[in-house]
Amino acid sequence: MFLRPNLRLTRRIPFNLICAALIFLAASKAANADELAIWNFNDSDLNVDHGSGTLTSNLNVVNILFAAGTTTNARQGDPAGQALSIQGGTGNANNGRNITLAVSTVGFSNIVVSFATQGTSTGFNSNQFQYSLDGASFVDFNPPYTPATAFGAVPLVFSLAAITALNNNPNAAFRIVFNGASSSTGNNRIDNIVVEGASTATAAIPEPTSALLLISGIGGLYRIKQRYKKRHKS
């Protein structure tokens, strides 16, 4: 009499194993970053193309152009299309000027900003990436970078996970300050800007380690069932 309830319970184990596997897959997927805002510049404008955010600039308008882009760092099937192309301007007036991204990170943490870039020999060769917690005051992040002379296969990546004040922040902003241009037509191209983060809503979903423990435990029960069946067949 005691064994019958256990037998009925073990008949459900294969279904439970499937559920556990689905939990594991969901937790693994949850670990992937979500794209908050993407600019691919394929429409030859500064409007965000996927997600939500704004891109503004204080460069001279006549020096904000668009040229051939790349698939490096492209997302959601975006083609190479166009890239943002900025020039030094008359008298290299655009040295010290910037482009600024305002992207709310509410509901997200571990923020990462990435993009593809290249520059001519007389373009901006000392560019500073910055972040802001209030959209007004900006802080340098990492040393200035110098773009390669051609788009590479790997984008520039700025991982801001250590800046926890950027998490869940409606006023988060990011900026690139351009310097070092030595001619009016010297230029840099920037393409496929992506701001992404991990959803804080995934905290309720078991971590992969927890899911593995669950699967292991149910698997042990399943093996007990198999041994029980073998004993009663003999």
In this structure, are residues 233 and 32 in contact, taking their beta carbons and an 8 Å threshold?
Answer: no
Kindly state whether residues 87 and 190 are assigned to the same domain. yes
Q: What is the pLDDT of residue 14?
A: 57
Q: What is the pLDDT of residue 27?
A: 47
Q: Which of 203, 209, 208, 175 minimizes the C-alpha distance to 190?
A: 175
Q: What is the pLDDT of residue 215?
A: 55
Query: Dihedral angle at the C-alpha atoms of 218, 222, 225, 231, nearest 10 degrees?
Result: -130
Kindly state whether residues 133 and 213 are assigned to the same domain. no
Kindly state whether residues 109 and 8 are assigned to the same domain. no
Kindly state whether residues 47 and 153 are assigned to the same domain. yes
Kindly state whether residues 36 and 87 are assigned to the same domain. yes
Kindly state whether residues 156 and 217 are assigned to the same domain. no
Query: Range of 18's domain?
Result: 3-28+208-233
Kindly state whether residues 171 and 223 are assigned to the same domain. no
Q: What is the pLDDT of residue 33?
A: 83
Q: What is the pLDDT of residue 201?
A: 84
Kindly state whether residues 121 and 225 are assigned to the same domain. no
List the pLDDT tens digit at each of the 234 positions of the chain: 544 545 454 455 555 555 555 444 444 444 468 999 999 999 999 999 999 999 999 999 999 999 999 999 999 999 999 999 999 999 999 999 999 999 999 999 999 999 999 999 999 999 999 999 999 999 999 999 999 999 999 999 999 999 999 999 999 999 999 999 999 999 999 999 999 999 998 544 555 555 455 555 555 555 656 665 666 665
Q: Per the domain annotation, does 202 fall within a domain?
A: no
**Taking the CA atoms of the chain, what radius of gyration do you get in angstroms?**
26
Q: Per the domain annotation, does 85 fall within a domain?
A: yes
Q: What is the pLDDT of residue 26?
A: 47
Q: Which of 91, 94, 77 minimizes the C-alpha distance to 187?
A: 94
Kindly state whether residues 18 and 41 are assigned to the same domain. no
Kindly state whether residues 191 and 226 are assigned to the same domain. no
Helix H or strand E encompassing 14:
helix 13-30
Q: Per the domain annotation, does 10 fall within a domain?
A: yes
Kindly state whether residues 12 and 56 are assigned to the same domain. no
What sign does the CA torsion over 102, 48, 70, 73 have?
A: positive
